[in-house]
Structure 1
Amino acid sequence: MKLSPSQIDTLKKLISYKGYPEIDLQYEILDHVACKVEVLLEENPTLSLDDAFRKVHSEFGIFGFSDLAESYTKSIERRYRRFFWEEFKSIFTSPRLIYPIAVAFILYWLSINSLFFGEKVGMPVWSGAFTILAVFFIIARYWKANKSMKNYVSYRSSIHSFTFFNLMLQISIFGMRRLENPYYNFDFSPQSILTWLSILAISACFICIFLIPRVLNRSIAETRKLQAIYES
């Protein structure tokens, strides 16, 4: 038998009461539990929904849904990482590549042609300024998304993306501290390798900053597909 929307809502609340408030995790567990509950109710129509749920829960042993929840949590986190690297690689095969190229060109042009209080400002300073602006952008995006998305495992997974961002930022800072001359050496030499490494790390920071919200939305969209199945 097919569960009604009110029964689905009740199951979600029961799953939440068991200690799983994350929406995407709830639907993953629900997808597993609902099938078993449907079978039990079909076999015994007089069985209440609560009793059917308790029976299914008891089948998982003394730890209940803990192992199932842990498995689904890891699955959601793996899915997020896969989406992140897919989006990251797609930048280099799509028209969106124009954005990091444009940023790199602007930084280089500003470092060569601009004056600030009569002093020439090099690429490290301009790169730092742009990075700070980008960080403010991502903070604003997360502040806005916090209330509506904080109860998603995907949201927590997106926080882990900042590990990659932090690594790229540290490489950028290390390189920028050594790029003092605005006329940079791009010949094959230790100095040029440092220059290119810094430029690539800075570009990765920008790409990472703007990809994180995009990947988060994509991951949550997967949950909403599952949600649509049970709420239709």
Structure 2
Amino acid sequence: MKKLTSLEIEHLYTFTRKHFVEFYDVQTELVDHLANGIEAQWEENSGLEFEKALEKEFKKFGVFGFSEIVEQKMHALEKYYRKEVWNCLKEYFKLPKIILTSFSIWALFTILNLIENKDSIALLLMFGVLSFYISFIFKESKRIKEAQKVTGKKWLFESVVLQFGGLLQLLNIGLYMPIINDDNQWGALALWSFSTCLVLYVLWFFVSVKVVSPSLKSKFSKEHPEYKLS
């Protein structure tokens, strides 16, 4: 059976890049798919030129080319990431971790309830938590850019990790809502809501950074040995 040469495989990588696939992990999947398709065509017609076989195979992706594949891959990774975060977070609502979670919420509620200037303290707490998030994003973005310069490779899953699977916006809404009210008063419900959201935010950030992200990177390093170089 006729097989693709290493030069033809490299040409397929170049072909995917020219068609706006910038992530190496997605490129690899597409190259594998294209290569299998081309070799299947050669089983039926061994005299078929490589470029014509590639053109025929590419047409199977439709008018949008590879864009739909990239989008589907990103959504799948985001879904996987969110699922892993949720599975880890659920452990903090089971014994024995639920005791620590409940105590943290109660302690924060109690402290806020005793403080007169709640707005300033709430803003200070939010600023502190978000500062850790911004610091992580800055450091991780810098590391990724430096790795890209060395390896020349971008990874879709790193982009998903950096976005935390799209979970940040959801928790931000819950974090800010308790202090956005017409009379600027803090009732028991607002205090409980803020305390719960802040503790959940911290838990989410910890699980995302310390548990799910390293696990995802470890999994991909096994699937893509090239990633270890970055």
3-state SS in 2 of match to 1:19: coil
Letter in 1 for 2:84: F
Query: 1:40 Cα shift?
Result: 4.3
2:92 equivalent in structure 1: 91
2:223 equivalent in structure 1: 226
Can you list the C-alpha shifts for 1:88-110, whole angstroms capped at 9, x where unaligned?
32333487667756755764686
Q: Does 1:165 align with 2:171?
A: yes
Please list every run of 5 or more consecutive structure 2 residues that lacks an aligned counterpart in the other structure. Answer: 146-153
Relative distance call for 1:108 and 1:17 in structure 2 (3 A) is same
Query: 1:67 Cα shift?
Result: 3.1
Q: Does 1:58 align with 2:59?
A: yes
Aligned residues: 213
Structure 1 CA distance for aligned equivalents of residues 24 and 201 of structure 2: 30
2:128 equivalent in structure 1: 133
1:211 equivalent in structure 2: 207
Letter in 2 for 1:144: K
1:142 equivalent in structure 2: 137
Q: Please, what TM-score do these two structures have when normalized by structure 2?
A: 0.66
Query: 1:16 Cα shift?
Result: 1.9
3-state SS in 2 of match to 1:60: coil
Structure 2 CA distance for aligned equivalents of residues 196 and 110 of structure 1: 11
The 8 Å contact of residues 178 and 190 in structure 2, kept in 1 or not, is answered as: no
1:185 equivalent in structure 2: none
Q: Please, what TM-score do these two structures have when normalized by structure 1?
A: 0.65
2:76 equivalent in structure 1: 75
Q: Does 1:16 align with 2:25?
A: no
Relative distance call for 1:171 and 1:27 in structure 2 (3 A) is farther
The 8 Å contact of residues 105 and 196 in structure 2, kept in 1 or not, is answered as: no
The 8 Å contact of residues 107 and 123 in structure 1, kept in 2 or not, is answered as: no
Structure 2 CA distance for aligned equivalents of residues 136 and 86 of structure 1: 26
Structure 2 CA distance for aligned equivalents of residues 151 and 163 of structure 1: 23
| Percent of aligned pairs with the same amino acid | 22
The 8 Å contact of residues 109 and 192 in structure 2, kept in 1 or not, is answered as: no
Structure 1 CA distance for aligned equivalents of residues 180 and 99 of structure 2: 26
